[in-house]
């Protein structure tokens, strides 16, 4: 469960970072 949550959080941060770079 911990690993799954970590993967979801890391992927969400990655997507947020990519979208942030795209918008900026």
What tens digit of pLDDT does each residue of 1-24 get? 689 999 999 999 999 888 877 665
The CA-based angle 10-13-17, given to 5 degrees, is: 140
The two three-digit tokens of residue 7, written as one number? 């993967």
- pLDDT at position 2: 83
Instruction: Give the model's pLDDT for residue 24.
Output: 57
Report d(CA 10, CA 5) in Å as an integer: 9
In this predicted structure, what is the pLDDT of residue 23?
A: 65
pLDDT at 7: 94
Token representation of residue 24: 């900026």
Q: Any alpha helices (H) in 1-24, and if so which ranges?
A: 2-23
């Amino acid at each position: 469960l911990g690993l799954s949550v970590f993967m979801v959080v890391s992927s969400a941060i990655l997507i947020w970072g990519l979208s942030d770079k795209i918008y900026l």
